[in-house]
Amino acid sequence: MEHNEVVGLSIGVVLIWVAWSIILLLTHLRRHRLEEVAGHLPPEPRWSIILLLTHLRRHRLEEVAGHLPPGPRWWPVVGNIFQLGSSPPHESFAMLARKHGPIMTLWLGSMSTVVISSSQVAREMFKNHDVVLAGRKIYEAMKGDYGNEGSLITAQYGPHWRMLRRLCTTEFFVTSRLDAMCHVRAKCINGMVQFIEDAASELSTKTDGIDLGRFIFLMAFNLIGNLMFSKDLLDPKSERGAMFFYHAGRVMELAGKPNMADFFPILRWLDPQGIRRNTQFHVEKAFEIAGEFIRERMESMENGGYDGIERTKDFLDVLLEYRGDGVDEPSRFSSSRTVNVIVFEMFTAGTDTTTSTLEWAMTELLNNPKTLKKVQAELRSTISSSNKLQEKDIENLPYLKAVIKETLRLHPPLPFLVPHMAMDSCKMLGHHIPKGTQILVNVWAIGRDPKTWEDPLLFKPERFLEPNTAVDYKGQHFEFIPFGSGRRMCPAVPLVSRVLPLALGSLLHSFDWVLPEGLEPENMDMTERMGITLRKSVPLKVIPIPYKGHVGCSI
């Protein structure tokens, strides 16, 4: 979190608010008898106005709040912003929750926020209040042309959202389609392995290393490109793919940046940090590139097909051929912008979460050499060096699957999931949750809760072996919900559960991995960089050594 910027702007807002409040108070004093107000003021005149304004503000909030969940004391105007410190928000909120409880109220400026930090409260939310808390808190960066209706992630709960969700679960992430596309996943992962081999051959010294995250991103981007457009989009000669990567990355960075316009609505028209303007600029650029692919496909369909080429129907075909009832859902996606939003969202969500998870998995393994040796031994004893790793092999690799789970426990891609919002007032565990309240589920804190996990800060994949192999990330084990639960759970989990172990297994089966000369496991940088997703602050640089006789992965 960019603490200095937030604090500086918050102080400015406080000064403006105090000046405006003084004007309002003077107006009030002129309209009412001075003696009626003076009885509430302390003797010292310099502090009288500030204390009275604080009293009035607190009294008004208490009337509105009812029995809100407990939380730290707040300051007028800025709320609890000054108490968050310089740590990333998920860490700051976890520290506050240890003092104030697993369901806690924070005021981020004027934004009322309830933070959930335990599996018990998460269970209560998703089991008993899933519908009323299924709304979305839309930040300023995501408003405008990108915004709500075309987006599955940010659309408000209702008929339009249900239609988008149904398309994803029955067309894009359905088991039959995923089974039919297993050769695409193998192709993209083999491409990543080949890219890494080529890069390894060009390393000049043992002090150099490759940026592993960049190669993982190439794989994830091409995988989504094949599922959406039936083609690779990123290679050394692909200018459009590289530009899409840049603009989509900027959108993810800006959308995860603390925005004063969200905390103080009076600043929305100013957009003081330029976040909304910059986000819209990069969204438009990404839309232009996605639009080129869509126009090419639409022209092909209007000309009678695909030039005689037989291929599996991809998700863009599904979108363009969609026909609805025209009542609760559109009769068709007539707006190219709506299609652009869906395509853009698939790419950004699919690539960023995959890249961050696999980069963290490799980081943790290199930081724990014994664990790295153990998972490689499992792979190489199960699959010979002359055979390809196949998806069907994953079921026989319990330790590899445990490594993936342990990585997601410690490093969930979205530490707060996507923010929920109360669509109406409700009672949860005896607490009043007002309509419009932002709900943050701190899955980062839940995954490190010492009441649930033994040695919660240690990387121990063994915790997911027998008798706990059934514990998974599909939304029913509330101590472990990196992709959420309930209606707003990430719909891509069926794809993720196939890609992550196959990609990580291929990296570990195809290469031995060493750190650049002079860097030891205990000296590795393990700090986190907060955006929408939880990435490493410092990209992982590592030296791959091809394992003799490997041939990649297969369908």
Q: pLDDT at position 52, please?
A: 42
What average pLDDT does range 329-337 have in this prediction?
A: 66
Q: Tell me whether residue 168 is annotated as binding.
A: no
Residue 224 lies in a domain: yes
Cα→Cα distances 242→246, 278, 352, 542, Å: 6, 19, 15, 23
Degrees to nearest 5, angle at CA 491 with 423 and 276: 60
Inter-axis angle of helices 212-229 and 182-201, nearest 10? 150
As a whole number of angstroms, the longest Cα–Cα distance in the chain is: 92
Kindly report the CATH number assigned to the domain that includes residue 399. 1.10.630.10
Band (436; pLDDT cuts 50, 70, 90): very high
**Of the candidates 108, 96, 109, 95, the residue with the CA atom closest to the CA atom of residue 70:** 96
**293 or 22: which carries more pLDDT confidence?**
293
Domain count of the fold of the chain: 1
Residue 77 lies in a domain: no
Residue 52 lies in a domain: no
**Token pair 């490093």: residue:** 411
**7 or 103: which carries more pLDDT confidence?**
103
Q: Which amino acid is present at 477?
A: H
DSSP symbols for 421-436: E-SS-EEETTEEE-TT
Q: pLDDT at position 138, please?
A: 86
Q: Which amino acid is present at 507?
A: L
Residue 43 lies in a domain: no
Find the domain containing 216 and state its range. 110-554
Q: pLDDT at position 294, please?
A: 77
CA distance 96 to 139: 23
Q: Which amino acid is present at 476?
A: Q
Asked if residue 513 lies in contact with residue 542, where contact means CB atoms within 8 angstroms, the answer is: yes
Asked if residue 132 lies in contact with residue 423, where contact means CB atoms within 8 angstroms, the answer is: yes
Band (423; pLDDT cuts 50, 70, 90): very high
Asked if residue 98 lies in contact with residue 385, where contact means CB atoms within 8 angstroms, the answer is: no
Q: Would you say residue 327 has pLDDT above 80? A: no
Q: pLDDT at position 391, please?
A: 94
Specify the range with the lowest mean pLDDT, choosing from 28-37, 515-524, 525-534: 28-37
Residue 8 lies in a domain: no
Residue 91 lies in a domain: no
Residue 62, class by beta-carbon neighbours within 10 Å (0-12 exposed, 13-18 middle, 19+ buried)?
Answer: exposed
Band (544; pLDDT cuts 50, 70, 90): very high
Specify the range with the lowest mean pLDDT, choosing from 14-23, 73-82, 271-280, 402-411: 14-23
Q: pLDDT at position 475, please?
A: 95
Predicted TM-score (pTM) of this structure: 0.86
For the stretch 181-196, pLDDT in tens is 999 999 999 999 999 9
- Torsion of Cα atoms, 418 then 421 then 427 then 429, to 10°: 20
Most confident of 7-21, 38-52, 159-173, 403-417: 403-417
CA distance 149 to 305: 30
Q: Is 107 helix (H, G, I), strand (E, B) or coil?
A: strand
Residue 41 lies in a domain: no
Q: Would you say residue 6 has pLDDT above 70? A: no
Q: pLDDT at position 477, please?
A: 98
What average pLDDT does range 392-396 have in this prediction?
A: 95
Q: pLDDT at position 37, please?
A: 43
Cα→Cα distances 32→27, 51, 56, 302, Å: 9, 19, 16, 73
Q: Would you say residue 62 has pLDDT above 50? A: no
Q: Would you say residue 428 has pLDDT above 90? A: yes
**Of the candidates 322, 320, 317, 353, the residue with the CA atom closest to the CA atom of residue 231:** 317
CA distance 194 to 354: 19
Q: pLDDT at position 33, please?
A: 45
Q: Would you say residue 233 has pLDDT above 60? A: yes
Band (5; pLDDT cuts 50, 70, 90): low
Facing residues of 528 across strands? 536
CA distance 439 to 42: 38
- Percent of the chain exceeding pLDDT 90 equals 47
What average pLDDT does range 379-404 have in this prediction?
A: 92
Residue 344 lies in a domain: yes
Q: Would you say residue 513 has pLDDT above 50? A: yes
Q: pLDDT at position 51, please?
A: 46
- The 10 Å CB-count burial string (b at 16+, else e) for 497-523 is bbbbbbbbbbbbbbbebebeeebeeee
DSSP symbols for 312-329: ---HHHHHHH----SSSS
Task: Provide CB contacts within 8 A for 324, sequence distance 6+.
Answer: 163, 330, 331, 332
Q: Would you say residue 61 has pLDDT above 50? A: yes
- Torsion of Cα atoms, 22 then 27 then 30 then 36, to 10°: -60
Specify the range with the lowest mean pLDDT, choosing from 105-119, 184-198, 317-331, 334-348: 317-331
Alpha helices in 239-325 (DSSP H): 239-255, 260-263, 275-302, 315-321
Band (232; pLDDT cuts 50, 70, 90): confident
Band (92; pLDDT cuts 50, 70, 90): very high
**40 or 124: which carries more pLDDT confidence?**
124
Degrees to nearest 5, angle at CA 439 with 434 and 445: 140
**Of the candidates 272, 274, 261, 268, the residue with the CA atom closest to the CA atom of residue 108:** 261
- The 10 Å CB-count burial string (b at 16+, else e) for 82-97 is ebbeeebbbbbbbebb
CA distance 410 to 456: 8
